[in-house]
């Protein structure tokens, strides 16, 4: 059962406009509305999430696995998990499993050194945890404290939760410029690149398939030197199969090469994926800074905060960024994800 997050009601409510209803904007709107601020969430697409990177995400909350590429993600991500667990009752807390073909022992050793997995499983333990993978792998890493969700359900839940917490939601409304009386939290993702010159896009392609011939209870990552893959179980026998990591801002449909590689690797994980129906394909652009870590940049004396650069960690770190911004607005509390583009003398004044 989810419990309310630890938030202190503010005695100085601010008028706040959150721009963009991707995962970062949703968490900002929810957290700030629950804190007692007067929040307006403005999203340019009429159909919520249609223009977001967030709708393509695997939505794994995997601080251990993701510390492979950015060690800082581990501690921040553990906080992210705690905040998700306090809010989202349908989070699946089943951990993550990481496997590799026996010939890729070097790859599993490298991953192990980088991520320090809490548990190493032998073939019997793999079979006990995921019976449909019995006999397929001799060694695996298990991260029992990780979690995942069905992405569209989680986004819809957060939008409702923000509304139910008092936020006003305006869809089909493209924000253009700051208003003098408002604090603006800018979560426009790649659309903010004109103001954030260091922001780059990293393309991620993925498919959604359905099969009743295999049952996996948790995300399974298959390590490979060239074609790493993860499969995330969704509700209704669906699996998200992802994802490429390509230094490109091309928003076009998934390429044949990527589809072949992802589906071929899924088939190598388990041949039952060969009979799965392909329900959906798509590619999202991950907004990323050079260090692949997000930050909230304080501008205009604290009246404008740009929250961006979530790279592969938007779901994991969105609640942490929201907590950091709420703490700054309350009492200028420092946080490692806050950066200042100028000297800030005072927090924004209540109106």
Ligand X SMILES: Cc1cc2nc3c(=O)[nH]c(=O)nc-3n(C[C@H](O)[C@H](O)[C@H](O)COP(=O)(O)OP(=O)(O)OC[C@H]3O[C@@H](n4cnc5c(N)ncnc54)[C@H](O)[C@@H]3O)c2cc1C
* Residues forming the site for ligand X (CB under 6 A): 19-25, 42-45, 51-54, 56-60, 174-175, 187-189, 191, 204, 206, 242-243, 284, 286-287, 308, 310-316
**Residue 20 or 302: which CB sits closer to ligand X?**
20
- Return the structure tokens found at 128: 């006990």
Question: Residue 46: how many CB atoms within 10 A of its CB?
Answer: 10
Burial 113-149 (b: 16+ CB within 10 A, else e): eebebeeebeeeebbebbeebeebbebbbbbeebbbb
Please give the residue whose beta carbon sits closest to ligand X in the complex: 22
**Residue 88 or 347: which CB sits closer to ligand X?**
88
In angstroms, give the least distance from the CB of 261 to ligand X: 14
In angstroms, give the least distance from the CB of 80 to ligand X: 8
**Residue 56 or 88: which CB sits closer to ligand X?**
56
Cα–Cα distance, 306 to 151 (Å, whole number): 24
The residue whose two tokens read 């986004």 is 155
Instruction: Give CA separation, 242 vs 102, 226, 231, 262, 319, in Å.
Output: 21, 14, 7, 7, 23
**Residue 56 or 157: which CB sits closer to ligand X?**
56
Question: Residue 176: how many CB atoms within 10 A of its CB?
Answer: 6
**Residue 169 or 347: which CB sits closer to ligand X?**
169
- Return the structure tokens found at 8: 């202190």
Cα–Cα distance, 253 to 256 (Å, whole number): 9
In angstroms, give the least distance from the CB of 230 to ligand X: 8
- Return the structure tokens found at 17: 């406009």
In angstroms, give the least distance from the CB of 63 to ligand X: 10
- Return the structure tokens found at 314: 């938007």
In angstroms, give the least distance from the CB of 123 to ligand X: 27
Instruction: Give CA separation, 265 vs 229, 250, 256, in Å.
Output: 7, 23, 14
Cα–Cα distance, 7 to 35 (Å, whole number): 6
**Residue 123 or 173: which CB sits closer to ligand X?**
173
Instruction: Give CA separation, 259 vs 50, 60, 243, 268, 290, in Å.
Output: 22, 21, 10, 14, 27
**DSSP string of 327-350, one letter each residue:** HHHHH----TTEEESS---SPPPP
Q: Are 228 and 146 in contact (CB under 8 A)?
A: no
**Residue 142 or 347: which CB sits closer to ligand X?**
142
In angstroms, give the least distance from the CB of 257 to ligand X: 16
In angstroms, give the least distance from the CB of 175 to ligand X: 4
In angstroms, give the least distance from the CB of 222 to ligand X: 15
**Residue 220 or 347: which CB sits closer to ligand X?**
220
In angstroms, give the least distance from the CB of 23 to ligand X: 5
**Residue 190 or 347: which CB sits closer to ligand X?**
190
């Amino acid at each position: 059962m989810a419990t309310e997050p630890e938030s202190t009601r503010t005695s100085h409510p601010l008028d706040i406009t959150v721009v963009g209803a991707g995962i970062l904007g949703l968490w900002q709107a929810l957290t700030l509305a629950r804190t007692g601020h007067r929040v307006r969430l403005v999203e340019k697409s009429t159909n919520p999430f249609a223009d977001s990177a967030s709708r393509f995400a695997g939505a794994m909350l995997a601080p251990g696995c993701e510390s492979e590429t950015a060690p800082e993600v581990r501690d921040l991500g553990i906080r992210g998990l705690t905040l998700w667990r306090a809010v989202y009752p349908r989070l699946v807390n089943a951990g993550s499993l990481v496997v590799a073909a026996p010939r890729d022992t070097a790859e599993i050793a490298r991953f192990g050194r980088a991520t320090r997995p809490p548990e190493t499983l032998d073939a019997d333990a793999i079979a006990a945890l995921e019976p449909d993978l019995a006999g397929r792998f001799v060694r695996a890493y298990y991260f029992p404290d990780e979690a995942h969700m069905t992405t569209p359900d989680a986004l819809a839940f957060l939008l409702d939760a923000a509304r139910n917490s008092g936020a006003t939601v305006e869809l089909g409304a493209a924000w253009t410029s700051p208003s003098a009386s408002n604090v603006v939290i800018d979560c426009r993702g790649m659309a903010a690149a004109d103001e954030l010159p260091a922001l780059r896009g990293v393309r991620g392609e993925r498919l959604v398939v359905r099969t009743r011939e295999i049952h996996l209870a948790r995300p399974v990552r298959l390590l490979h030197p060239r074609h790493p893959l993860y499969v995330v179980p969704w509700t209704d026998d669906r699996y998200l199969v992802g994802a490429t990591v390509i230094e490109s801002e091309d928003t076009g449909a998934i390429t044949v090469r990527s589809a072949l590689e992802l589906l071929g690797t899924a088939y190598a994980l388990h041949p039952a994926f060969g009979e799965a129906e392909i329900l959906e394909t798509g590619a999202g652009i991950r907004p990323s800074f050079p260090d692949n870590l997000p930050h909230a940049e304080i501008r205009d004396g604290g009246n404008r905060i740009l929250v961006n650069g979530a790279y592969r960690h938007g779901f994991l770190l969105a609640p942490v960024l929201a907590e950091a911004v709420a703490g700054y607005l309350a009492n200028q509390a420092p946080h490692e994800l806050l950066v200042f583009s100028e000297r800030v003398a005072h927090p924004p004044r209540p109106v």
